[in-house]
Structure 1
Amino acid sequence: MRGGSVRQSLASIILTFEAVVMFFAALVIFGLKALPAPLALGGGAAVCVLLLLNVVLLRFRWGYALGWGLQGVIVAACFLVPTLAIIAVIFIGLWIYSMIKGAQIDREKAAWAAAQAEAE
């Protein structure tokens, strides 16, 4: 991710870990029979694929909006298995932190680079 922003790097890491965790969450939803097997496993696979695809789409501005939407999907899974709310809170907290802090670091890097270019 050379040349990418800090926000993009942090978001990529979080989305990748979320994909792994949501794979296991889909297995839990299947195991608890909260949804029919095809819906639990197929839906879980679709969410995992979308999370991993979103890593690539973060190069576009709308990729972040998709990331926010996927956080909403994870919250929706909490209605099937309420214990997943713990996971949702952790990942949404990480997502919010990466969006705020990553953007702040990117602005500081841009200001520093502009100051360096001006000094030369």
Structure 2
Amino acid sequence: MTRRFAGIVVGSETLAVFLGALVAWAIAKAQGNEAHTSYLVVGLVLAVLCIVSAGSLRRPWGVTLGWLIQLATIASAVIVPMMLIVGVMFAALWVTALHQGRKMDALTLSASSRAGEPPRE
């Protein structure tokens, strides 16, 4: 369950990060900022990393990548201040998914061992 919950959180975060990148690009372009294309590219890379992280949660580095994405999303508030709220909300969901998922995995493991079934993943 941990992988499923965390995958849902990071997968959903993809949309928020993508839309945040579009907002950063549009605001910078409207203000005549030369870095508008860079904002879009970095945001798209972060959105792709969200998808990669959702798919790689079976590997040990998948959760680490998820944490880095949470930090990068919060750090994007430097460009678009409202991304701070988005980043904090998704970080809270990430922590909850990891905590509750592990709790559910432990309960499933103990229930299956009491029933004499082989543990499921």
Q: CA deviation at 1:84?
A: 1.3
The equivalent of 1:77 in structure 2 is 76
Q: CA deviation at 1:83?
A: 1.5
Find the aligned partners of 1:83 and 1:113 in 2 and give their Cα distance.
Answer: 45
Partner amino acid for 1:19?
T
> How do 1:50-65 residues align onto structure 2 when only pairs under 5 Å count?
50-65=49-64
Find the aligned partners of 2:41 and 2:87 in 1 and give their Cα distance.
Answer: 20
Q: State whether residues 29 and 35 of structure 1, in contact with CA within 8 Å, keep that contact through their aligned partners in structure 2.
A: no
Q: CA deviation at 1:35?
A: 7.1
The equivalent of 1:10 in structure 2 is 5
Equivalences, count: 113
Q: What do the CA deviations read for 1:51-107 (whole angstroms, capped 9, x no partner)? A: 001111101122101100110100110111212111111111100000100000001
SS in 2 for 1:78: helix
Find the aligned partners of 2:15 and 2:82 in 1 and give their Cα distance.
Answer: 17
Alignment partner of 1:27 out of 5, 22, 26: 22
Find the aligned partners of 1:108 and 1:35 in 2 and give their Cα distance.
Answer: 53
Normalising by structure 1, report the TM-score: 0.89
Q: What do the CA deviations read for 1:5-28 (whole angstroms, capped 9, x no partner)? A: x11001111111100111000011
Q: State whether residues 10 and 102 of structure 1, in contact with CA within 8 Å, keep that contact through their aligned partners in structure 2.
A: yes
- Point out where structure 2 has 5 or more consecutive residues left out of the alignment: none
SS in 1 for 2:105: helix
Partner amino acid for 1:95?
W
Partner amino acid for 1:99?
L
- Give the % identical residues: 27
